[in-house]
Structure formats: C-alpha cells, structure tokens
C-alpha cells in the first residue's frame, strides 16, 4: 500500500524510516525495470512543473527525463521567465499551478519559500535544493551506499567541509537509515543549529551516533564514507576567495583519507572543484562513486514522483 500519495517531499523531518525504506525499495525496483528495458509508465498523462531560481545540470535533466520515462511530461520554468520571478506571491503561484499540474518541483534560495509553496499547493511539492536542504540528493546517495555496501545499518558517514544544504540533509536523514554520522566543518561554517538539534533528537530516537566537530580527522577516523561538497554554494560566489583560505584544512585528499576504513567510499553530490574540496586523485580514484550517485538521482526521483503523484 502506498501511503505517500499527495505528500510533499520538502525534507526528511516528517518521513518515517519505513516510508524512506519504501522509497528506496521502489527506486531499486524502478531502476531494475529500466535496466531490463521494461516500460513502466504509471504517470501517463501526468505533468510536473519545475521551478528553477538556481542553475542545475543533474536535477533538471534527471527530473525531466524521469517524468518522460514514467509516461508523463515536465515543464521547465526558469525564474526569469515566470511571474514568480517578477514578484507574484508564492501562495497565488501555488494555487494557480495546482489547477494545471499534478506535481511541483522547486529549486530556490530560501527554504521558507518552498514550505510556503507546499502549504498553498494542493499537489505534492518536491524540494530540489534550497539553501537549507537537498533531500533528493541525499536519498540518491543513500541508495548508492546501499548498493555498494549491501546494507546501511551501522555504517559511518563522515561529511567534511561546509555545513551547507548537503550537510544539513545528511544529518537529518542518517539516523532514520541507521547510519552513524560525523560532520566536520571549519569554525563559523557549522550546520544549521535547528537542524542539528533535530538530528540529535533523531539520533537518540533511532540509536545512531551523531558527532559534530571542527576536526576533520576526528570525523574521518574509521569511517565507511567520506562525503564532501563545494566550499562556496550557489549564491555564495562572492565568498569564494575567503572560503578557500578558511577551508584549506578540510580538503579531502590522500592524507585525510588514510584515516578512513581501507574500503571507504568517496561521495560528492557534484559539481566538484578538483584541487579545492577534493583532490583529483580521490574523486577520480578507485574509492569514488560520484557518477553512481548522479545516476541514482534519476531512479530515486522517479520513485518519489510515482509515490507522491501516484
């Protein structure tokens, strides 16, 4: 039974472990069908409106291709070409869109804008990245981890770098999948305090470890996964030079990786900057699974679309 019809996917907070595992299993089944060349079009005649206020390669292409493969249609709506970009209220936009489309995907800056859109839309709203969260990416990453390690329970994920949207979504999701989580950021670049408090609560509830530190070696010691992301996210371009200086000790390089398990996986949501947050040797080396993560965006998002739009 699919209990997720009509639900938004804005972050992991109100999803239970069993709902999240259902999404993972659905993604695995959808992926298998595609690999076998089986047609699967449960969204025939359905449409997805996709609002983008920020750039994207993976997210746009995987959602658009995913909707097509499921038998539906996706509309790319760039900020500069919609009335939303000219100041039409989010609530009006939500109500109008709900009369046309069966689901809405949005990538933007303020997380509150997505929450507001979801509140006023009568169709499911999917968060495709805000300044605070990137749940579609983390779900794809967790599927990738499961594929490579066979199971998730008890694995330790070390996130090293900026306490950004990726880090926030990781700490929020990890406890619900039985994953231990360690985050190391420079001082002043920690995760969102409210998300950390929530993640600590989830870690207590589900009996997992959550370590928040400013020491990359402490985070990586004995870890199964080393995850990193860009030092300056979209919207922070002006801080790039300052961040390169402050983040130097947080580069994922050969030296840091020596502290992880011998069979550690390197993960990154992409796009990456070789020589900044990660060395070419690591991201292009044998531990890296970054392109599997990118591929799995397609499969998990198809699962989210099927489950919520139904």
Binding site as annotated, residues for carbamoyl phosphate = 56-59, 83, 107, 134-137, 269-270, 297
Is 137 a residue that touches ligand CP (CB under 6 A)?
yes
The three-class DSSP label of residue 5 is coil
Site string for ligand CP, 75-104 (x = CB under 6 A): ------------------------------
> Annotated catalytic residue: which of 107, 182, 268, 299?
107
Q: Which positions touch ligand NVA (CB under 6 A)?
A: 129, 164-166, 229-230, 233-234, 269
Choices 54-62, 146-154, 194-202, 243-251 (CB under 6 A): range interacting with ligand CP? 54-62
Q: Nearest approach, Cβ of 60 to ligand CP (angstroms)? A: 6
User: Could you count the other beta carbons within 10 Å of the beta carbon of residue 300?
Assistant: 28
Which residues are known binding-site members for L-ornithine? 165, 229, 233-234
Is 269 a residue that touches ligand CP (CB under 6 A)?
yes
Judged by beta carbon distances under 5 to 8 A according to partner kind, the member of ligand CP, ligand NVA, none in contact with residue 165 is ligand NVA
CA separation for the pair 160, 40 (Å, rounded): 38
Q: Give, in order, the Cα–Cα distances in Å from 127 to each of 11, 33, 50.
A: 7, 25, 10
CA separation for the pair 97, 52 (Å, rounded): 15
User: Could you count the other beta carbons within 10 Å of the beta carbon of residue 187?
Assistant: 7
Place of tokens 């070390």: 158
Among 21, 34, 47, 56, binds ligand CP (CB under 6 A): 56
C-beta closer to ligand NVA: residue 97 or 289: 289
Judged by beta carbon distances under 5 to 8 A according to partner kind, the member of ligand NVA, ligand CP, none in contact with residue 233 is ligand NVA
Look up residue 108 and give its two tokens: 């933007």
> Annotated catalytic residue: which of 7, 111, 133, 134?
134
Sequence-ordered strand ranges (E) for 150-218: 156-160, 180-184, 210-213
Judged by beta carbon distances under 5 to 8 A according to partner kind, the member of ligand NVA, ligand CP, none in contact with residue 57 is ligand CP
CA separation for the pair 81, 88 (Å, rounded): 12
229 is catalytic: yes
Look up residue 117 and give its two tokens: 């859109």
Instruction: Specify which residues 49 forms β-bridges with.
Output: 75, 104
243 is catalytic: no
Q: Which of 258, 169, 165 shows the shortest CA–CA distance to 220?
A: 258
Among 19, 270, 273, 287, binds ligand CP (CB under 6 A): 270
User: Packing angle between helix 290-309 and helix 135-149, nearest 10 degrees?
Assistant: 120
Is 198 a residue that touches ligand CP (CB under 6 A)?
no
Instruction: Specify which residues 156 forms β-bridges with.
Output: 180
The three-class DSSP label of residue 148 is helix
107 is catalytic: yes
Q: Which of 138, 147, 99, 137 shows the shortest CA–CA distance to 120?
A: 99
120 is catalytic: no
Among 57, 78, 83, 240, binds ligand CP (CB under 6 A): 57
Q: Nearest approach, Cβ of 270 to ligand NVA (angstroms)? A: 7
Which residue number places its CB atom closest to ligand NVA? 233
Which residue number places its CB atom closest to ligand CP? 59
The set of catalytic residues is: 107, 134, 137, 229, 269, 297
């Amino acid at each position: 039974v699919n209990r997720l019809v009509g639900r938004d996917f804005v972050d992991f907070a109100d999803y239970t472990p069993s709902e999240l595992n259902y999404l993972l299993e659905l993604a695995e089944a959808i992926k298998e069908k595609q690999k076998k060349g089986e047609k699967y079009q449960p969204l025939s005649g359905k449409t997805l409106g996709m609002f983008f206020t920020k750039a994207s390669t993976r997210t746009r292409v995987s959602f658009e291709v995913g909707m097509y493969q499921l038998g539906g249609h996706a509309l790319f709506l760039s900020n500069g070409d919609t009335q939303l970009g000219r100041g039409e209220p989010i609530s009006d936009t939500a109500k109008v869109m709900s009369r046309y489309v069966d689901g809405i995907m949005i990538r933007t800056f303020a997380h509150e804008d997505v929450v507001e859109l979801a509140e006023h839309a009568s169709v499911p709203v999917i968060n495709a990245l805000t300044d605070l969260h990137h749940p579609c990416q983390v779900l794809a990453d967790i599927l990738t981890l499961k594929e490579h390690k066979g199971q998730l329970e008890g694995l330790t994920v070390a996130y090293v770098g900026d306490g950004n949207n990726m880090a926030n979504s990781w700490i929020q999701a990890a406890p619900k999948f039985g994953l231990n989580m360690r985050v190391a950021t420079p001082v002043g670049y920690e995760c969102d305090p409210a998300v950390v408090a929530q993640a600590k609560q989830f870690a207590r509830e589900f009996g997992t470890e959550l370590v928040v530190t400013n020491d990359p070696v402490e985070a990586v010691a004995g870890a199964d996964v080393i995850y990193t992301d860009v030092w300056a996210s979209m919207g922070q371009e002006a801080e790039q030079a300052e961040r390169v200086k402050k983040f130097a000790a947080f580069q994922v390089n050969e030296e840091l990786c020596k502290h992880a398990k011998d069979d550690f996986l390197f993960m990154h949501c992409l796009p990456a900057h070789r020589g900044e947050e990660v060395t070419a040797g690591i991201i292009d080396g044998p531990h890296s699974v970054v392109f599997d993560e990118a591929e799995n965006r397609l499969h998990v998002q198809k699962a989210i679309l099927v489950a919520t739009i139904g």
